[in-house]
Amino acid sequence: MAQPSKPENANLQSQGKGSNTGGKKSKLPPAPATGTAVNLAIAEIVLRGLADRMRGKVQADISQADAHKRKSGERDAVDGRSLITSVGLYGAAKLARRSRAGLGLVAGGLLAKSLYDRGKAVRERRAKRGR
């Protein structure tokens, strides 16, 4: 069986002298393994592990907040949500997932909304003090 041949510039690129680096060594750290498939597998394992940890943390925080809400008698945020609101939130989530521009638009809208709400709360507090 014939072994696949390496590209002619493979040794040059591994020494940092390939055409992509302009004769300079790359400033990126070396990959953990030499095989691309191994590096992808390592990255996938790390990312999945981090995602699982974050998901567990968020679920724990949500269940703790839910327990606190039940004790204080607060109503659910979902209660009273209209169909139009639900469809709008679904659309915003889809838009944010599909593209970076959509994510930026949705994140910007959420930031603007939170800043507006904070400003409104500050104005209400000032109005109460002024009475």
Q: What is the pLDDT of residues 76-126, one digit of tens each?
A: 555 667 888 888 888 998 888 888 899 899 999 999 999 999 999 999 999
Residue 81 amino acid letter = R
- Computed over every residue of the chain, the mean pLDDT equals 78
Q: How many domains would you assign to the chain?
A: 2
| Same-domain check for residues 130 and 91 | yes
On the question of pLDDT at 72 being above 50, the answer is yes
Main-chain dihedrals φ then ψ at residue 56, nearest 5 degrees: -60, -40
Tell if the pTM clears 0.85, that is, is over it: no
| Same-domain check for residues 94 and 61 | no
Q: What is the mean pLDDT of residues 55-76?
A: 80
| Same-domain check for residues 68 and 104 | no
| Same-domain check for residues 36 and 67 | yes
Residue 24, in any domain of the structure: no
Residue 99, in any domain of the structure: yes
Do the Cβ atoms of 47 and 54 come closer than 8 Å?
A: no
CA distances from 11 to 22, 32, 85, 111, 119 (A): 15, 18, 59, 49, 60
Question: From the CA atom positions of the chain, what is the Rg in Å?
Answer: 26
| Same-domain check for residues 91 and 66 | no
d(CA 61, CA 51): 15
d(CA 56, CA 62): 10
Domain assignment of residue 36, given as a range: 31-72
Residue 118, in any domain of the structure: yes
What percent of the chain lies above the pLDDT cut of 70? 73
Main-chain dihedrals φ then ψ at residue 123, nearest 5 degrees: -60, -40
On the question of pLDDT at 6 being above 60, the answer is no
| pLDDT at residue 52, as a whole number | 87
| pLDDT at residue 9, as a whole number | 47
